[in-house]
Structure 1
Amino acid sequence: MKWLVALATILAPAAARADVVSASANGFEIRHSVAIVIPQPLAFEAFTQISQWWNAEHTYSGKSSNLTLSLTPGGCFCETLPNGGGIEHMHVAYVDPGQRLVLTGALGPLLYQAATGVMDIKVERIAGGSRLTLDYKVAGFANGGADKIAPVVDQVLGDQMARFRKYAAAMPQSR
């Protein structure tokens, strides 16, 4: 058991790049940051190819291939459903190609609450590659339990960022 505590202590600094920044009954802020050994424009491009890395378990259709992201103001991070329906997960509020993308809306079960969010994705150049930081701020009623939902949203976004990082790192750099 002591080795488990020691391992947790050693790994704790790595977890500092992903956390619930703040949470209350009516809102929360989650931030994830991943470093990737690829150029900044390529990291941004990889993020926008959301159907290639988003976990299908966190879609309504069960297929990541049904996800699209239109990179124009008012554009949609949407999902088509097999019956001809669809879902607007978020919409695009701001695009600075290669550097920043701001989406607004409510992901997952937040869609059914009186809550909305702003997801601010920044890609910056760092030594050896780039860093993508995703900051998701949610506010509203959320059935008065946003602080209880925050750790679950943090876990889901953490999984998505791990999948994104793996996908981005495998992209050919000769684009």
Structure 2
Amino acid sequence: MIARGAGLTCRVRALLLRAGEGAMRTILMAAAMSIGAPAAAEVTSAALSSFVIDAAITVDAPPARVWDSFRAPASWWDAEHSYSGDAANLYMDAQATGCFCERIPDGKGSIEHAHIVYVAPGRMVRMTGGLGPLQAEAVAATLTFRFDAEGEGATKVTMRYVVGGHMQAGGETMAPLVDNVLLHQLARLKAAAERAAPGS
């Protein structure tokens, strides 16, 4: 396991500045995050041109409610990790060929954060795409979420992000930073699903 909270090197800072202000804000926030989030996450492998992140969290809500919350990223994705700075601009079309996307207000554009390639409603979704600054790199990336009933009225959410390709800063440098971002988002998904009213 690679320790999270690694400092940003000058090389990474330069890379992120080229990737854009939104990406820079995302990773700087990740580097500053507390490690003690209520989820288990691990960089299970990392090399110069690849990394794998595995994470899991238990949500005190049934799978159907967690799935409904997941499909509404505006309710849980941190606005600090967006390009527009407003989570209300995030949306998900949860079907194959759909996307996890973001509208930029005032006709200034839009962003596909990830492309959806597989959906089993309430059970699993798989997306492809480089998140944040990885979008500007020559990488192939696959992000999978599973939703499994656990006990009475709870859901285990497991996530795997597999990234491979050319990364100017190197996979070993980027992995713990991306790990922190995704861990933070899982914790926010848990909070959103647990506060959602049944049937909402």
The TM-score range, normalised by the shorter chain, is 0.7 to 0.9
- What TM-score does the superposition give when structure 2 sets the normalisation length? 0.77
1 CA distance for matches of 2:63 and 2:199? 13
Distance 1:60 1:152 in 2: 17
Give structure 1 regions of 4+ aligned residues with deviation exceeding 4 angstroms: none
Aligned length: 164
1:21 equivalent in structure 2: 44
State whether structure 2 residue 183 is matched by structure 1 residue 158: yes
| Code of the aligned partner of 2:194 | A
Which residue identity lines up with residue 74 of structure 1 in the other structure? T
Q: In the alignment, is residue 92 of structure 1 matched against residue 113 of structure 2?
A: no
After superposition, the C-alpha distances for 1:50-104 in whole angstroms (9 at most, x for unaligned) are 1111000100100111111001111011111124201111111000000000010
Question: Structure 1, unaligned stretches of length 5 or more?
Answer: 1-11
Compute the TM-score of the two structures, normalised by the length of structure 1. Answer: 0.88
Offset of 1:116 from its aligned partner?
A: 2.4
- Residues in 2 aligned to 1:15 and 1:30: alpha-carbon distance in whole angstroms: 16
Establish whether residue 52 from structure 1 lines up as the match of residue 78 from structure 2. no
Secondary structure of residue in 2 paired with 1:143: coil
Select the residue among 131, 151, 155 that pairs with 1:127: 151
Q: Is 2:61 the counterpart of 1:61?
A: no
> Could you tell me whether the CA contact under 8 Å between 2:38 and 2:187 is conserved in 1?
no
Alignment partner of 1:139 is 2:164: yes
Partner of 1:72: 95
User: How far apart in 2 are the matches of 1:114 and 1:140?
Assistant: 6
> Which residue matches 1:149?
174
Q: Secondary structure at the match of 1:57?
A: helix
The question of 1:110 aligning with 2:161 is answered no
In the other structure, the counterpart of 1:171 is 196
Equivalent pairs: percent with the same residue?
Answer: 36
What is the RMSD computed on CA atoms of the aligned residues?
Answer: 1.9
Rounded Cα–Cα distance in structure 2 between residues aligned with 1:50 and 1:71? 11
Hey, what does 1:4 align to over in structure 2? none
Aligned-partner Cα distance in 2 for 1:160–1:92: 18
Amino acid at match of 1:36: V
Equivalent-residue separation in structure 1 for 2:38 and 2:82 (angstroms) = 26
Is residue 26–residue 141 contact of structure 1 (8 Å, CA) maintained in 2?
Answer: yes
Query: Judging changes above 3 Å, is the alpha-carbon distance between structure 1 residues 127 and 16 closer, same or farther for their aligned structure 2 residues?
Result: same
